[in-house]
Structure 1
């Protein structure tokens, strides 16, 4: 069925307010949430931090693009996402992350339509904050492909703020489309920290290039990070008519096991491009 014909509010949605987890645990929780939704449980909306700071690699990203020595010295975790794109540096202040997880049958099969449906609460959150964000309308070539925020812009899932005639990226979003469930997750930039963001990569990249292409909420609105998180949570809750929820003990136990066995392992994080998982 086409998910656009089915009101989201007719389904059971839970909102899990901002929590702090390690990088491997955040990725494992997304996967467990997909299994829960596919098995008939609640759909999940979640907002989260990464603690310690984490570099999340795109699914096909070459591990040679990472400055492993710097990440180790700076106590930065490295994990790999199920979604594509470039690497993203997440810390507990500059980054705000979210996930939306639902059965595949709930959502449009067309990728573009699915992004535009699932990004509605994201755009609503920016509107609540007084930030004029929108999907990217102009093309921009990649400046440094290993970094998500410096790749070419995509109108389906890159959200920008226009200032002085220039679009700057404020949010990147990506989907992992399983046969039975869809996970969309993304990052909002609360404040731009180019030096920290670029230091995790093996190549040197001009911080001015990052500044020219990326913006943060605090560049456009006099709001705290906590107020920004609250606006995102309120927008997600209203969009799906969600109830406040939590993880079950079983979900947390499975997520911890999945994080240790998969998302924290060198086999997963440092694997070479072209290698696929043996099973879903």
Structure 2
């Protein structure tokens, strides 16, 4: 009756395209739209075209390019591998020596690696899931906040997520509305205008900086652990909600508002 894709790799490889060729009902983005997660440089190009705020960045493909790009950035900087990395492809680099060691080792092992060098942003992080159906019918879930760094005091490396809670009281409704209107909707419009409309789960990872919300990254599926604190808040039938979206009908959805849900 319905296939709902949970993880990123089959989406990026084009499972939705293959199911649709076979006439099978499946909820998720096609191979090209899945590049919003599969390629950080693709996502940045869409953000730029949609005029959506995000961190300043450089894209490099060699050791010499990386060295030249680093001159344009202040420390700390953020290094992101372009492709899928299971939530572990991000490193915060605090010094010239650390940066040099990282890029020398990276290009020694693979001389063709595409690397994103990005401005370090500060502020609380939060995530918004947008369930996108036919003709840009959309359901937005309550926002969540996860914690990525290992060890007490956030002193360890980034992980795919160490825990999460939802909703996030310190992020106002006005900020969420701004994210929907000035970030999510413009991105969906650009995808549609390019002849590649997005359907499925668009996870927008955000940071509330001093100058307003900015995009950190996109995922094209439910994130773990965020899904485990968001989905239990749905008051209604998940399957019917997805079917309505796929048919281009905006579902009438209610989310609980009385308690916080934690996953530690």
> Normalising TM by the smaller chain, what interval?
under 0.3
TM-score normalised over the length of structure 2:
0.27
Greater relative contact order structure (CA < 8 Å, 6+ sep): 1
TM-score normalised per structure 1: 0.26
